[in-house]
Amino acid sequence: MISVFQLNESQRQAVEWGEKSLLVLAGPGSGKTAVLTMRIANIIKNSPDENFRILGLTFTVKAAKEMKDRINMLLGNMDNRVQLRTFHAFCTDLLRQHGSHLNLKPDFSVITDEKDRIAILKELDVDNPEDILSRIDTMFTHGISVEELPKYFTPENQTECYDLQTIFNQYIQALSKENQLDFGSMLYFTRQLLETKPRIARQLRTVYKYICVDEFQDTNLAQYLILKLLAPTENANLFIVADEDQIIFQWNGADPKRLESLKSDYNIEVLQLPYNYRCQKEIVEIANKLIEHNSYRIHTKKPGIPFSDESGTVKLTSYENFDHELSGLVDEINVIPLKSRDKCLLIARSNKLLTAANKYLNEHSINAEIVSKNQDFSSPILLTMYFCLKLANAANSRSVLNKLCASATDINGLVLSAEDISAKAHVEGSSLLRAFFDTASQSEILNPVCNAGISYLCDTIQFQKFIEIYINHFDYLNTDDEKDDLFPDYKDDKENWTRIAQDIEDTYEGNVGLHVFLQEMDLTPKLKSIGKDCVRLQTVHSAKGMEFDHVFIIGLAEEQFPTYFAIRSGNKSIEEERRNCFVAITRASKSLYLSYANEYFGWHKQPSRFLKEMGLLND
DNA sequence: GGCGGGACCATTTTT
DNA sequence: TGGTCCCGCC
């Protein structure tokens, strides 16, 4: 942990920043999280008698959690004046409190499954729901209202525009009627709330005197508009941390232009954290050279400066074809001792190359695993418990019942029909969940948890008690003998469950309703445990924010990295690819192994232009 | 047996 | 944008 005394000059300036807005340009490894959290802690410590709060907004759950942990270390139990949330979690908090103005009930649930969104559109008799959904998402991420929509259509396409307007309105109505929100609508409703109820916005402004935003470059327009409603004047106290060279979510609405808007909308000062504490100097040098080729940059940003004098390694190797490249990779990894394998990261631009590399490495006795965040639980046991809770929260949802029946059927093969259970509930005038428990109790393995379910989810709501009994039951069955095969993924799922449940406990201090509990469960990514002495394989996007001693990047060839798509669609996309490459190489602290082949899957490819730009290859 | 023409393949994924 | 393979036709 860095203390105030170890800060460099620009870091200290940022930490001690008080009133007015500041934009902190923070490259890879510049210590931005330390700066952000220490500045927050400073303000709180220097105002013990005041009761304003500080709002910290992040883009990812992981970043919010990281900041929470650090703030907790710095402030201990004084941290109740600091609210650290992702944009989306902040919006749900707000909508649970004030959503009644928009006819939203406080116990709404969160849709995370694309299929459920498609299902809503199908109910509305939409022709090609996938296409319409992506249009609706574009409206959401760009904050485009129904009224503004005609601007985006040519005069001869106005019918198409009118159709989309109608469907968008119907979709919004369906969400509020079914008491469900998806990610996009959270932002949509929040903006509407703050625009139509200026009193609420004003109240928030009084409470949150300071607002910090981490990874600002990732915000889409809808999020930025919400920020502007929270801090409408140019004299606001915004503290924005951003790196324009790491915008790699453009396809999701992030845009280099956002920083320009920020600078013109606010009377903002700019400060750069120039030192790179992560990467050794050879790596910083090629990263600087590479990113210089991007033209959409704030011109005041200076190249990164390596903090350490120590020498790192940058090695480029070329191969005849992809097979040779993989074989060369095996040789390189074999040099690294087993105990350091968990400090190795293999990056590829696409999952196709990553999958092939994974297969090859494992066939050549190198432990390797593709690391990707899986959004959902995967073991039937945990899923069944989770859907029981969901059905307790959304009592009439047929789609939840369908999923519950499917997962419960997977546990032991006793077929549970959603159709029959629904009919039974109708005849008996009971809830879907009660009818489910009545039916499923015929299964020997499920019987004890069904009884618990009736007592603690139907007769009374004591969902924590239900969870406890449910998990104990399967823990008992699981330790009975070697039944790992019988309960696939149960261990990983349970670890995730207990971890998230603990986080929720910490955040809400044990005082949490079922809908909020489920919301946090839904919005928190589930991690996969990784084997011993294992090399991690990740795509560029999923590796963002991480750091490893040794990084291997394969497939540095034209039409792989940069991708074929980017090359075809022009300079704006190439610049995003360049930022992707920048993010990839700056994951490495000590050594960086780059490689390309002349042939992939039978197609001849040129070496990536980025290698030339980094000065590693001549024209 | 030699040829012309068409098919083949092409990204990332948070909230 | 590529190279290669296979099919059908002459």
Q: CA A332 → C1' B12, Å?
A: 27
A106 annotated ligand binder: no
Q: Which nucleotide is nearest to A605 (CA to C1')?
A: C2
Q: Which nucleotide is nearest to A184 (CA to C1')?
A: B15
pLDDT band at A288 (very low <50, low <70, confident <90, very high): very high
A32 annotated ligand binder: yes
Residue A259 has what pLDDT? Answer: 92
Q: CA A598 → C1' C6, Å?
A: 25
pLDDT in tens, A203-225: 999 999 999 999 999 999 999 99
Q: Is-contact A421 A401, C-beta < 8 A?
A: yes
Q: Which nucleotide is nearest to A599 (CA to C1')?
A: C3
A33 annotated ligand binder: yes
Q: CA A486 → C1' B2, Å?
A: 61
pLDDT in tens, A254-286: 999 999 999 999 989 999 999 999 999 999 999
- Among protein residues, the one whose C-alpha sits closest to the C1' atom of B11 is A350
pLDDT in tens, A369-402: 998 877 688 889 999 999 999 999 988 888 899 9
Q: CA A571 → C1' C1, Å?
A: 16
Residue A155 has pLDDT above 70, yes or no: yes
Residue A19 has what pLDDT? Answer: 87
Q: Across the strands, what pairs with A269?
A: A22
SS3 sequence of A340-354: HHHHEEEEECCHHHH
Residue A481 has what pLDDT? Answer: 54
Residue A509 has what pLDDT? Answer: 80
Q: Identify protein residues whose C-beta is within 7 angstroms of any atom in strand C.
A: A 559, 564, 602-604
CA A290 to chain centre: 27
Residue A251 has what pLDDT? Answer: 87
pLDDT in tens, A506-564: 888 877 899 999 999 999 988 877 888 999 999 998 898 899 999 999 999 999 999 99
pLDDT in tens, A591-608: 999 999 998 988 889 999
Non-local CB neighbours of A454 within 8 Å, separated by 6+ positions: A434, A437, A438
Query: How many angstroms separate the CA atoms of A474 and A317, rounded?
Result: 51
Q: CA A349 → C1' B12, Å?
A: 8
Least confident stretch, A172-176, A292-296, A362-366, A374-378 = A374-378
Q: CA A59 → C1' B10, Å?
A: 30
Q: Which nucleotide is nearest to A90 (CA to C1')?
A: B15
Residue A3 has pLDDT above 80, yes or no: no
Query: How many angstroms separate the CA atoms of A598 and A540, rounded?
Result: 22
The stretch A159-180 carries a mean pLDDT of 93
Query: How many angstroms separate the CA atoms of A517 and A519, rounded?
Result: 5
Rama region for A429: left / alpha / beta (φ>0; ψ in -120 to 50; rest):
left
pTM for this prediction: 0.91
A615 annotated ligand binder: no
Task: Give the residue among A255, A514, A556 at the shortest CA–CA distance from A390.
Answer: A514
pLDDT in tens, A55-65: 999 999 889 99
Residue A412 has pLDDT above 90, yes or no: no
Which bases of strand C sit closer than 7 A to a protein CB?
1-4
Q: Identify protein residues whose C-beta is within 7 angstroms of any atom in strand B.
A: A 59-62, 86-89, 112, 183-184, 248-249, 251-252, 349-352, 372-373, 375, 523, 525, 539-542, 559, 563-566, 569, 573, 580, 601, 603
Q: Which nucleotide is nearest to A566 (CA to C1')?
A: B11
Mean pLDDT in chain A? 91
A29 annotated ligand binder: yes
Q: CA A466 → C1' B11, Å?
A: 43
Q: Which nucleotide is nearest to A601 (CA to C1')?
A: B9
Q: CA A598 → C1' C10, Å?
A: 38
A602 annotated ligand binder: no
Q: Is-contact A463 A517, C-beta < 8 A?
A: yes
Query: How many angstroms separate the CA atoms of A375 and A206, rounded?
Result: 36
CA A591 to chain centre: 27
Which bases of strand B sit closer than 7 A to a protein CB?
9-15
A348 annotated ligand binder: no
Residue A287 has pLDDT above 80, yes or no: yes
Tokens of A202: 């004003």
